[in-house]
Amino acid sequence: MFRVPTSVLDLAPVVPVVVIEDAADAVPLAQALVAGGLPAIEVTLRTPAALDAIREIAGAVPDAVVGAGTVLTAGQVTECVAAGARFLVSPGWTDALLAALTAAGVPFLPGVSTVSEVVALLERGVREMKFFPAQAAGGTAYLKSLAGPLPQARFCPTGGIGPDNAPEYLALPNVGCVGGTWMLPADAVAARDWARVESLARAAANLRDAGGTCR
């Protein structure tokens, strides 16, 4: 039986946000990411292959902590957990979706982009969130401004983040990790160049040191 993580934010400095078109690529892609030091893998529900990809990774890559992203409905919550997802990520939240996420029994990161959304989640006992779309919603300056009045909230910023600005986010005390796609360039995935993916993942894993604190 796999171990459910207590917090997604503490697994690695970067969570790869993965769009898988062919489930046959899921296992070698996940193995490359894990070998590079990025065990937490968010497979987004943007393709028909997503659930099969989650199922393949969960069954064949024991060192991976595979999760599901772009979770929008209670039905998707159920399907993803049944497929083996060990965490869930949504771009936003409603009370109905939050109830389903809470009942799922795995960690989850509901998406926020405003102070009111953060306060509403804190009121409901949720302290770990996805900040999305990070750059468009105010970036590091916005997150810095939240740290004072809302120090209990911790974030995984995603959206517009790459190797150049990830260290700035990781240096913030209220950021546990960031999400991104840059270690999975489309041409490398299309060519099944898993060695290149592993190399880029390893560089991303080392951003913890470049970014200062990453709790």
Residues labelled catalytic = 42, 130
Can you tell me the distance from the alpha carbon of 77 to that of 22, in angstroms, rounded to the nearest whole number?
21
Measured between alpha carbons, how far is 215 from 212 in angstroms, rounded to an integer?
10
Comparing CA positions, the residue from 205, 209, 215, 213 lying closest to residue 37 is: 205
* C-beta separation of 116 from 157 below 8 A: no
Q: What is the DSSP string of 111-126?
A: EE-SHHHHHHHHHTT-
Give the distance from CA 119 to its chain's centroid.
Answer: 21
